[in-house]
Amino acid sequence: MVQMSIIYAACVAGAIGLLFLLPRRGNRWWPIGAVLGGGALGAGLLALARGGGGGGVDLFFYLLAFLAIGAAVRMITHSRPVYAALYFILVVLATAGLFVQLAAEFMAFALIIVYAGAILITYLFVIMLAQEAPDDQHPDALTEYDATAREPVAATVAGFVLLAALLGMMYRGTGAMPAHAAAHRTADAELAVLTGKVQAALRAADLIRPGETIREVDAEARTAVAAQDSGDGLRTVALPDDLRVSNVDAVGVSLLSEFPVSLEVAGVILMLAMLGAVVLARKERVGTPRDSKSGNTPHDSQSLIVGAEGAL
């Protein structure tokens, strides 16, 4: 059992450490914050490890968790936005590592591609687009709003009270959760609908003849019914042992069979967001003549800039 006193003490120490780390002008106290915060994090993870790991948690979990939390702290305490975004990429990578630990490798790669590859790059673009220096003499100087935190004490106290409440609830109130065995599905049940995959695997293993197709798959008994194209010659073939449902198969079957409408709605949301972003970020073209010869200079940047200034 995890010792709650250690968890609560780690929360308090972490809060004080984070307070020292939050950005302010001439922050000389950050080593204290780093020691306190790192100590709190280490103590918390150690309390977890002593409380009993097992069941899929090994050393890699602690390493990746330490990496994720450390990068997250550095992300909210770094006063330069570009570095904050880069530290967030580190958080994403650590999270993807944890997903691999949880046998969710498809989501791990999707996370890296979508988050680190697409979303964060957009953030970096906008950060660099909207960068400003306080004056021309010091292009590297920090702006006031990046260099100082807003109400650090109140925010940190509120955050860590929330954390302590969450953890207290988690370690005292989860006894009534249903055992996972009850909700468990039979392994490889998705094979029953993945006839194409079964057929390809059987054909690759030379278990069915070229003219035969798979009519039905019994995932429980691990057999398949094959038939000639003409419709006769039904026979039952045993599935090879190495034919398993991969993570991508399972996610795909669940996504398309259980949540098809949600998938469509997600597509609509994405398209609306794209339209909205285009409409919001569009520059107004004011006062540009729409004569018939404008086709000769379709990208008249001068008139675009003039138009933007007119819009302001």
Partner 1 sequence: MTEPLSILALNHYLLLSAVLFVIGFIGFLTRRNLIIMFLCTELMFQAAAIAMIAFGAYHGNVQGQVFLIFILTIAAAEAALALALVVMLYRRRPTLDAEKWSELKG
Q: Which 56-85 positions form the footprint of partner 1 (CB under 8 A)?
A: 56-57, 61, 65, 68-69, 72-73, 75-76, 81, 84-85
Contact between 234 and 227 (Cβ < 8 Å): yes
CB of 226 to partner 1, least distance (A): 26
Give whichever of 34 and 110 is closer to partner 1, judged by the CB atom: 110
* Residue with token string 């791990």: 108
Contact with partner 1 (CB under 8 A) among 17, 97, 116, 160: 160
Residue whose C-alpha is closest to residue 95's, from 85, 81, 109, 83? 109
Residue whose C-alpha is closest to residue 9's, from 49, 57, 42, 51? 42
Window 117-156: residues binding partner 1 (CB under 8 A): 118-119, 122-123, 126-127, 129-130, 132, 143-146, 148-152, 154-156
CB of 269 to partner 1, least distance (A): 5
Contact with partner 1 (CB under 8 A) among 97, 115, 224, 243: 115
CB of 21 to partner 1, least distance (A): 11
Window 195-234: residues binding partner 1 (CB under 8 A): none
226 exposure class (CB count in 10 Å sphere: 0-12, 13-18, 19+): buried
Helix axes 81-101, 120-129, angle to 10 degrees: 180
Per CB under 8 A, 107 contacts partner 1: yes
Contact with partner 1 (CB under 8 A) among 170, 204, 286, 305: 170
Three-class SS state of 212: strand
Return the structure tokens found at 187.
Answer: 């392994």
Residue whose C-alpha is closest to residue 251's, from 124, 52, 99? 99
**Span of 55-63, 197-205, 217-225, 228-236 interacting with partner 1 by CB under 8 A:** 55-63
One-character DSSP codes across 104-149: -HHHHHHHIIIIIIIIHHHHHHHHHHT---SSSS-TTPPPHHHHS-
Give whichever of 69 and 194 is closer to partner 1, judged by the CB atom: 69
**Span of 107-115, 200-208, 223-231, 292-300 interacting with partner 1 by CB under 8 A:** 107-115
Return the structure tokens found at 126.
Answer: 């906008």
Contact with partner 1 (CB under 8 A) among 171, 192, 213, 216: 171
Q: How big is the site for partner 1, counted in residues (CB under 8 A)?
A: 99
**Span of 26-34, 54-62, 203-211, 298-306 interacting with partner 1 by CB under 8 A:** 54-62
Report d(CA 206, CA 189) in Å as an integer: 23
CB of 273 to partner 1, least distance (A): 3
Give whichever of 65 and 198 is closer to partner 1, judged by the CB atom: 65
**Span of 197-205, 218-226, 267-275, 298-306 interacting with partner 1 by CB under 8 A:** 267-275
Q: Which residues of 48-58 are buried (b: 16+ CB within 10 A; e: fewer)?
A: beeeeeeeeee
Report d(CA 235, CA 208) in Å as an integer: 10
Phi and psi, residue 218, nearest 5°: -105, 105
Compose the 29-48 pattern: x for residues touching partner 1 by CB under 8 A, - for all others. ---------------x---x
Residue whose C-alpha is closest to residue 86's, from 289, 298, 41, 78? 78
Give whichever of 19 and 208 is closer to partner 1, judged by the CB atom: 19
In Å, what is the CA distance from 117 to each residue of 26, 114, 130? 34, 5, 20
Per CB under 8 A, 20 contacts partner 1: no
